[in-house]
Amino acid sequence: MVYQTLGRCEDVALLFKQTLANHRALFDDHLMVAVGRIHLVNVLEKVNRSVEAFVLLQQSENTFAQHLGEQHPNTINARSELKKIADLLKK
């Protein structure tokens, strides 16, 4: 994304949050909302907002597990990222 390239990650985070709010109003547990959360998580991690990223990632992991199954790569990747963030938050 251009904003990220320009170092405007906070602006990117705001745009993602607004988009997700609109999508969640229609279908909170939809897979595309979960994917959108992942994009926001990536930005939040870049601006050291790990607690917020962790919560959103938990929501995405739950959606992936519910719709795709426990062994789906998206579910597994989300769990792996949750562990990484949890380890960072312990420090």
* CA dist., res. 72 & res. 74, Å (int): 6
Q: Flag whether the pTM goes above 0.85.
A: no
Q: Which residue range is the domain that position 36 belongs to?
A: 2-90
* CA dist., res. 44 & res. 54, Å (int): 9
Beta strands in the chain (DSSP E): none
pLDDT at residue 5, rounded to an integer:
61
Total number of domains constituting the chain: 1
* CA dist., res. 39 & res. 12, Å (int): 10
- Residue 44 is part of a domain; what is its CATH number? 1.25.40.10
Sign of CA dihedral 81, 51, 46, 65: positive
pLDDT at residue 13, rounded to an integer:
79
pLDDT tens for each residue of the chain, 91 residues long: 544 565 677 877 777 777 767 666 566 678 888 998 998 899 889 889 999 999 999 999 999 999 999 999 999 999 999 999 999 899 7
